[in-house]
Structure 1
Amino acid sequence: MSDKPERFIDDEGLRLDGRRVDEIRPMKVEMGVLSRADGSCYLEWGNNKVLAAVYGPRELHPRRMQKPNEVLVRYKYNMASFSVEDRIRPGPSRRSTEISKVSGEAFEPVVMTQYYPGAVIDVFAEVLQADAGTRTAAINAATLALADAGIPMKGLVSACAVGKVDGQLVLDLNKPEDNYGQADLPVAMTQDGEITLLQMDGHLTPEELEEGLEMVKKGCQQIIEIQREALISRYGNEDEEGEEAEEDSPEEVPESEEGEEEEGERDGSFDNEESEAENLDENEVTKEDEGEEDERQ
């Protein structure tokens, strides 16, 4: 406890990392980073570094786990043993199992599972470097990985956390605030504002909980915009190239004009044939006249 800061918010309202109480940490997103996955995303959020990959839809084994009317979405959250300063034991733990379950349920309202009955979609979220808020960062990365894989969804899911330090609510906790703060409230919601995940560690009054949900809603809206920009930057260029190709293509001749040209060609060919026939008739006539003159002589 010796490294606990004396104050988390100074007199000017700035936190330890220079942010205001309602600001989120900088976020960097890169999609399509794994060639063997159907969809993938690498996300940096503050000092968090998360890699998400999606495989499927594909056949589910064993068959007894298959759902006859919908696809099974399996979400696996894991922290690498080197992701924190104090090396953790590799492999699954009670914490990772719990986070995997609740995070997977956060996608149930948006993933359109009815299109792939009996199949499975595997979502893997690997935390490479942890700095508080890893479960929310993993959800944000997994959402983009699902979109990158072409999984039909009703919308995007964004996640953010709100906490309490120095008796004041703050958005998107960093590591010191998460370790020594008075409360932590991670939330995931759809772009329509429907909450799909809500957990709380600590103590908040009903009034603080209501205010915290309003703060986290604004934070999720900012993350939704970042996710949209990432999708546009990955897939928007292809659409623009397609439009440019259509603009550069030669103009098509209207069918009416083509028909007129064909009729004109046909008319010309008929005229030539008629003129040749007239010339042949004239030659025959002259030959007959010559023959009659010879007989007379």
Structure 2
Amino acid sequence: MAGLQLLSEYGLRVDGRRPNELRQIRCKMGVFSQPDGSAYLEQGNTKVLAAVYGPHEVRLNRSKTHHDRAYINCQFSMAVFSTSERKRRPRGDRKSQEMDMNLNQIFESAIRTELYPRSRIDIYLEVLQADGSNFSACVNAATLALIDAGIPLKDYVCSCTSTLAPSQGGAPPTPMVDVNHVEETLGGPGLSMSTLPRLDSVVHLELSGTRLHLSHIDPVAEKAATGAADIMAVLDKAVRGHVAQCLHAREVSGQGADA
């Protein structure tokens, strides 16, 4: 990929998007019957499954309980076939453990844990295909799965990753939203931001890769926040569509029972 430009002379990215455009997001709730809640989300070519169990009583490990709130347990993993190189350890490595910790912090801030004392909520996330912004896609998929499970949230939890396209021809670096794998690899540092958009609250912020100059922090962060708000609109539409579909199915089944 030597010599590949992240932005063309017409201001288009390698996949044809403008710097402020999200990848296409497809999502579906209730994809499994065994968990209390589940969701499948595609963010471009990044594909994630999320499953939620709980809230349920903690029976074995009593140390992982809180008398005044629920204990949140997030587990992140990547399928061995999720990248071009086969992963030897799809879960349990240092990177996965770091993701688990960050996900725990995010959803402890977003879930109304005080409603479920001495209980536990398990959130399992599996990346089926990785093509950039994997962490953000997992946060968005987990939000849908939690809503499907009927667990109260303070707000939608939406995450987006932004980066900087290197300067070209004397032009300043350009912030880009919802980065793919090529942009993560060849672009500047990636800034992942998870927010509660309606509450105007940031619950997680992480900078990966090289250092980000102080003068670029605000535009890159603003791009990530705007992307998270746009993602919330997509998730909200999916949730409303899923609820309408469930209500319609209930009405149809009720009419069939009356007949």
TM-score by length of 1: 0.78
Answer whether contact 1:4 1:176 (CA < 8 A) is retained.
no
What percentage of residue pairs aligned between the two structures are identical?
34
Answer whether contact 1:53 1:125 (CA < 8 A) is retained.
yes
Distance 2:3 2:180 in 1: 13
2:25 corresponds in structure 1 to 27
Distance 2:250 2:160 in 1: 36
1:137 corresponds in structure 2 to 137
Q: Letter of the aligned partner of 2:193 in structure 1?
A: V
Distance 2:195 2:229 in 1: 9
CA RMSD of aligned residues (A): 1.8
Task: Please list every run of at least 4 consecutive aligned residues from structure 1 whose deviation after the TM superposition is greater than 3 angstroms.
Answer: 237-244
Distance 1:77 1:62 in 2: 20
Q: Who wins on radius of gyration, i.e. which is larger?
A: 1
- Displacement of 1:206 after TM fit? 2.1
Q: Letter of the aligned partner of 1:179 in structure 2?
A: T
Q: Letter of the aligned partner of 1:11 in structure 2?
A: E
1:109 corresponds in structure 2 to 109
Q: Letter of the aligned partner of 1:51 in structure 2?
A: L
Greater length-normalized contact order (CA 8 Å, ≥ 6 residues apart): 2
Q: Letter of the aligned partner of 1:190 in structure 2?
A: L
- Displacement of 1:54 after TM fit? 0.1
Q: Letter of the aligned partner of 2:184 in structure 1?
A: D
Answer whether contact 1:188 1:195 (CA < 8 A) is retained.
yes
- Displacement of 1:238 after TM fit? 4.6
Answer whether contact 2:51 2:125 (CA < 8 A) is retained.
yes
Answer whether contact 1:43 1:51 (CA < 8 A) is retained.
yes
2:151 corresponds in structure 1 to 151
1:88 corresponds in structure 2 to 87
Distance 1:64 1:6 in 2: 52
Distance 2:125 2:2 in 1: 30
Distance 1:12 1:233 in 2: 37
2:125 corresponds in structure 1 to 125
Answer whether contact 1:162 1:171 (CA < 8 A) is retained.
yes
1:168 corresponds in structure 2 to 174
- Displacement of 1:8 after TM fit? 1.1
Q: Letter of the aligned partner of 1:147 in structure 2?
A: I
> Do the aligned partners of residues 75 and 4 (structure 1) sit closer, same or farther apart at CA in structure 2, a change above 3 Å counting?
farther
Output aligned runs, 1:1-297, within 5 Å.
Answer: 3-60=1-58, 61-90=60-89, 91-166=91-166, 167-191=173-197, 192-201=199-208, 202-239=210-247
Distance 1:142 1:241 in 2: 24
User: What's the CA shift string for 1:77-129, capped at 9, x where partnerless?
Assistant: 11111100011113310000001101221122221111111110000010001
Distance 1:37 1:243 in 2: 24
- Displacement of 1:207 after TM fit? 2.6
Distance 1:229 1:12 in 2: 32
- Displacement of 1:59 after TM fit? 1.3
Answer whether contact 2:144 2:235 (CA < 8 A) is retained.
yes
Greater helix percent: which structure?
Answer: 1
- Displacement of 1:217 after TM fit? 1.3
> Do the aligned partners of residues 241 and 63 (structure 1) sit closer, same or farther apart at CA in structure 2, a change above 3 Å counting?
closer
Distance 2:40 2:106 in 1: 20
- Displacement of 1:240 after TM fit? 6.6
Distance 1:82 1:200 in 2: 26
> Do the aligned partners of residues 48 and 241 (structure 1) sit closer, same or farther apart at CA in structure 2, a change above 3 Å counting?
closer
TM-score by length of 2: 0.89
Length, aligned pairs only: 243
Answer whether contact 1:71 1:116 (CA < 8 A) is retained.
yes
For structure 1, list consecutive stretches of 5 or more residues without a partner in the other structure. 245-297
- Displacement of 1:7 after TM fit? 1.2
Q: Letter of the aligned partner of 1:171 in structure 2?
A: V
Distance 1:99 1:4 in 2: 31
> Do the aligned partners of residues 126 and 208 (structure 1) sit closer, same or farther apart at CA in structure 2, a change above 3 Å counting?
same
Distance 1:213 1:34 in 2: 35
